[in-house]
Structure 1
Amino acid sequence: MVLFLLFAIYQAGVYFFIHFKVVTAIVNPAIGVVFGYFGSTAFHFLKERQQNVLIKGMFSQYVNKQVVQELLTNPDKLKLGGEKKNVTILFSDMAGFTTFSEGKSPEELVRFINGLLHEMTELIMINTGTLDKYLGDAVMAFWGAPLEQEDHAYRACKTALDMQNKVSQISQEWIQKGEKPLHIRIGLNSGDVIVGNVGGERHKNYTVMGDNVNLASRLEGANKEYNSAIMISESTYEAAKEFVLVRELDSIKVKGKTKPTKVFELIGMADDEMAKQKLNSLADYISALELYKQKKFVEASAYFEKCFTAQQDFTSKVYLERCKAYIENPPEENWDGVFVMKTK
């Protein structure tokens, strides 16, 4: 293009001299074209470099290197201003943190939390998730942004199981040192959210917002009611059901929501033999839950008690207590089985 313009300038000068005996300056326009070309090239180079620095600075701490490289190669895939995306959100939190922290110095506690968060973050990165933020000893992450991931629910479920396995290893090490066992609770939910770069002029955070984010957080806390380790919503289960093994826990209304949500306990991946064995051991629970839904509380309580006795299944104990309460005070005719959570 530049050579064409230089040639055109030269030809125009020759044409005006031959036909009109007019001498035109061709050096200055030619220099202007050359400088314009190099100036434009430098501008685009600096703009692209600035964009690359922005992407690296913003995402290198939140996603793995492969994702950063993909964003650098295809920056059009990134929209920082805000967009609606279907993602899976994960919240994890340490159970019994107050008890665990008793007798520990601030330095020792911070060192432990940093070590735990490092391990959890590594697993999120390995499974190509996006680290959103740390909330004390809690972690928030999501899958499906900034890059599209059709299997984001599967990736989140796998990460949750990996996190529990890692915490189990760490807990064994702490028990050998005479410390209390360590447990974490995890909540997963999938759905549409608003994702983008949010914050003030000095500091912004690439994050997700919306009701589906709040629900994931509520499910993490709802684990306490059933003593479950990983609670997932129906939408997450439907998106990943080919790859995971679960048991239905309940239909619940979490604080701040008007519609009930069916929730499941994530037991393992579909190809995990130990997870299959655990699910088979809960056959009495599954039978009991169906009877419970039909308001056959006497029959259901027998199965729940059997499962609790044989498997020490805390969720069965929860339902056993509910059955006893409903046997004494039967629910209304329009009872839908939905349990209303009183706490976050």
Structure 2
Amino acid sequence: TDDYGQMAVNYLGPVGTFRYLSAIDILNGEKLDQLKDRFVLIGTTAAGLHDLRSTPFSTVYPGVEIHATVIDNLVTGNIMNHELLAERGLTLTLLVAGGLLLSALLAYASPLVGGIGGVLIMTLGLIGNYWFFFRNDLIVGLVYPGVALSAIFLGVTIFNYFSVGREKRFIDLAFSRYISPQVATQLKRDPRRLSLSGTEKELTILFSDIREFTTISERMTAQQLGQFMNHYLTAMGRDILATRGTVDKFIGDAIMALWGAPLDDPQHAQNAVHAALTMQTTLVTLNNHWQESGLPEVKVGIGINTGVVSVGNFGSEERFDYTVLGDAVNLSSRLEGLTGLYGVGIIISEATRQALGDDFFCRKIDRVRVKGKKRPVTIYQPLVAGAPSSELAREVATFEQALELYYDRRFADAVELLEQLQQQSPCRLYSYFIGRTQGFIDTPPSDDWDGVTVHARK
């Protein structure tokens, strides 16, 4: 028995497992031979005498047969093993191991997964209980582990709702419109990957702007302008989100986007340039649609730079935004402002060009010193992903040869090559350099000229 004088009864079968004799037969002297050398118990099976009990075999089990079962267990040694140390040890093991496993599931997975895990843990407990009971006649209690696991599930779920759930709701509120659904899902699975405190990180930042937007907007009513901007920003935003980018903000007709935050992206430079090329392709489709409605052709300039910035929540205590700050951000904005001058759709910095490797074919454009920067920056135009066609490769090689002649002060030779390019493939870039180079032929630069073009305006 246990500490309280109780024992577990090893029931042998349903009602009638033991032989029953009628009291009338015994009083009449009949069947007395069946009592010889037997344990004889006198009891009743009548319901009105209140000696019917509930057992695993029946809810109306005669109490006298329970006593008979106990005697049989004691005589034959067929006793349930009720070793307190073993029982409590197994129960404690199930409670601790199951509790830790369930807590881990709930901490790192959804409540649904945690609930399924809890059911599986209890199922394993039942299987183990069955094995110990029928193979080793050992009783393992499941009440305490069951209550404990239920309490753990309820407690951790409530805690997650008010702590982890709050982080996930913040992600939904703050990022759902600015990052792709795939990135949002990853953040909600592991909110710790989202740093909001302002950390330094290498990212790629993109600025885009509609050229001569004021002139375009003057031709529209307020309602038309709103519809136009929504159409444009939606299309551009989709291209950004499709490449794991984050739309930092819309500033009128301008877009600021970044790659590499809030989630790490080892391909942030490649993804940013891929997005920029896709945006220019999307713009062609949009222009075809708008021109059918009588709207002028829209041109967009995009500037991209890669560098270390501070990323996180910035603002006042009452209002703040998840954004990036730093010199690398300012440079990407300056590069966007140069696209119209050079007549190209996209300009990237030297840092971005180095990060791209051979993934994109780019054309070197110039060495510039932008407003607010002392060090010159070599700028490039990404043309295509992968290897270029032979015609494009020859054209770019000729232009870069003209640039080298320009930097070597061989202005007449440079103009000759540039004019050949302008005849073959007329564009703003070639005409701009022809004019600039011709100006140096007419008025040579000073002896300390280093070939760097200074852009003092934003």
| TM more than 0.5 | yes
Shift of 1:317: 1.5
| Corresponding residue to 1:208 among 304, 319, 324 | 324
The corresponding residue for 1:286 is: 400
- Measure the CA separation in 2 of the matches of 1:196 and 1:321: 45
The corresponding residue for 1:342 is: 456
- Measure the CA separation in 1 of the matches of 2:323 and 2:414: 44
Contact 1:88 1:144 in 2 (8 A): yes
Contact 1:94 1:137 in 2 (8 A): yes
Q: Does 1:230 align with 2:338?
A: no
Q: 1:334 to 1:156 in 2, by over 3 A?
A: same
Task: Provide the TM-score with structure 1 as the length reference.
Answer: 0.86
| Corresponding residue to 1:262 among 368, 372, 378 | 378
Shift of 1:44: 4.3
Report 1:69-218 matches (<5 A). Answer: 69-218=185-334
- Measure the CA separation in 2 of the matches of 1:279 and 1:139: 31
> Aligned AA for 1:198?
F
- Measure the CA separation in 1 of the matches of 2:328 and 2:171: 26
- Measure the CA separation in 1 of the matches of 2:332 and 2:177: 23
Q: Does 1:319 align with 2:433?
A: yes
RMSD: 2.6
Q: Deviations over 1:289-322 (max 9, x none)?
A: 1111111111111111111222112212222122
- Measure the CA separation in 1 of the matches of 2:371 and 2:240: 28
The corresponding residue for 2:445 is: 331
The corresponding residue for 2:422 is: 308
> Aligned AA for 1:54?
F
Q: Deviations over 1:216-235 (max 9, x none)?
A: 00000011221111000000
Secondary structure of the residue aligned to 1:188 is strand
> Aligned AA for 2:414?
A
- Measure the CA separation in 1 of the matches of 2:156 and 2:365: 62
Contact 1:93 1:185 in 2 (8 A): yes
Give the number of the structure whose residues are more often strand, by fraction.
1
Secondary structure of the residue aligned to 2:163 is helix
Q: 1:36 to 1:148 in 2, by over 3 A?
A: closer
- Measure the CA separation in 2 of the matches of 1:111 and 1:59: 24
Contact 1:284 1:306 in 2 (8 A): no
- Measure the CA separation in 1 of the matches of 2:153 and 2:386: 59
Contact 1:249 1:265 in 2 (8 A): yes
Secondary structure of the residue aligned to 1:302 is helix
Name the stretch that deviates more: 91-100 or 156-165: 91-100
Secondary structure of the residue aligned to 1:295 is coil
Shift of 1:177: 3.1
> Aligned AA for 1:103?
R
The corresponding residue for 1:247 is: 363
Name the stretch that deviates more: 40-49 or 139-148: 40-49
Q: Does 1:68 align with 2:184?
A: yes
- Measure the CA separation in 1 of the matches of 2:204 and 2:239: 16
> Aligned AA for 1:252?
V
Q: Deviations over 1:23-52 (max 9, x none)?
A: xxxxxxxx9xx9899657633442121121
Secondary structure of the residue aligned to 1:127 is coil
- State percent identity of aligned pairs: 35
Shift of 1:187: 0.3
Shift of 1:174: 2.1
Contact 1:113 1:137 in 2 (8 A): yes
Q: Does 1:51 align with 2:170?
A: no
Q: 1:140 to 1:313 in 2, by over 3 A?
A: same
Contact 1:298 1:327 in 2 (8 A): yes
Q: 1:164 to 1:36 in 2, by over 3 A?
A: closer
**What residue ranges of structure 2 are gaps of 5+ in the alignment?**
1-90, 96-146
Q: 1:223 to 1:278 in 2, by over 3 A?
A: same
Q: 1:172 to 1:4 in 2, by over 3 A?
A: same
Q: 1:308 to 1:36 in 2, by over 3 A?
A: closer
Q: 1:177 to 1:92 in 2, by over 3 A?
A: same
Shift of 1:99: 2.2
Secondary structure of the residue aligned to 1:118 is helix
Count the aligned residue pairs. Answer: 319
- Measure the CA separation in 2 of the matches of 1:122 and 1:41: 35
Instruction: Please say which structure displays the higher CA radius of gyration.
Output: 2
